[in-house]
């Protein structure tokens, strides 16, 4: 019989170039909710890592593949992604979609299939986004949200929830108390199943 009290592992991916930006603030509140529900949380700040864009070489698909051909910090992230029960992906909206840091990370997950069989199956995912316009459509936030929905539907992962809101100055989103409560609730929901 499986141990039902096993601690859930949550990996937070911060795709903002600002460590204390609005999307990171939302992710921190999701993390707080997950921790309060008993999860262990690890946070990765993509801006501090050296992650090159995908080359589309398909090396990982070769029979004798040892994984992704690009040797950079993504090599350390692959095992963390596989080990984690849940992921939190946080990004600001830059030029009508997710940040470049987030997109490069997403593209490099293409090779995750080389490291485990069905590495996406059963993953529970929370998305946190911030944008400058007051409208999630005009800002382009919906473009990024749709990308996440399509990608994780394809991989048979489960997006548990998405929190997103408008804020311009770093940390300003924290003033949106209703959104902060929603983010914390999402963190608890992310690890309760």
pLDDT at residue 4 in the model: 53
Query: pLDDT, tens digit, for every residue of 89-126?
Result: 999 999 999 999 999 999 999 999 999 999 999 999 99
Domain boundaries, the chain: 9-53+63-191
Q: List Cα–Cα distances, 76 to 7, 12, 71, 183, in angstroms.
A: 22, 14, 10, 28
Q: List Cα–Cα distances, 21 to 116, 148, 151, 172, in angstroms.
A: 33, 20, 25, 8
- The span from the CA of 90 to the CA of 102, in Å, is 8
Superfamily assignment of 9-53+63-191 in CATH? Answer: Flavodoxin domain (3.40.50.360)
Residue 69 has pLDDT above 80, yes or no: yes
pLDDT at residue 1 in the model: 40
Q: What percent of the chain has pLDDT over 70?
A: 97
């Amino acid at each position: 019989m499986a141990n039902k009290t096993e601690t859930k592992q949550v990996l937070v991916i911060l795709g903002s170039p600002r460590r204390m930006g609005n999307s990171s603030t939302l992710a921190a509140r999701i993390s707080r909710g997950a921790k309060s529900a008993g999860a262990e949380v690890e946070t990765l700040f993509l801006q501090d890592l050296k992650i090159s864009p995908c080359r589309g070489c398909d090396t990982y698909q070769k029979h004798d593949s040892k994984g992704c051909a690009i040797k950079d910090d993504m090599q350390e992230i692959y095992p963390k992604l596989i080990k984690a029960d849940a992921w939190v992906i946080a990004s600001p909206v830059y030029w009508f979609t997710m940040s470049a840091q987030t997109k490069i990370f997403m593209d490099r997950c293409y090779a995750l299939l080389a490291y485990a069989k069905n590495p996406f199956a059963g993953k529970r995912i929370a998305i946190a986004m911030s944008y400058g316009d007051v409208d999630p459509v005009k800002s382009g936030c919906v473009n990024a949200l749709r990308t996440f929905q399509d990608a994780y539907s394809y991989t048979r992962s489960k997006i548990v929830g998405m929190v997103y809101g408008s804020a311009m100055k770093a940390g300003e989103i924290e003033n949106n108390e209703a959104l902060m409560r929603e983010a914390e609730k999402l963190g608890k929901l992310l690890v309760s199943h």
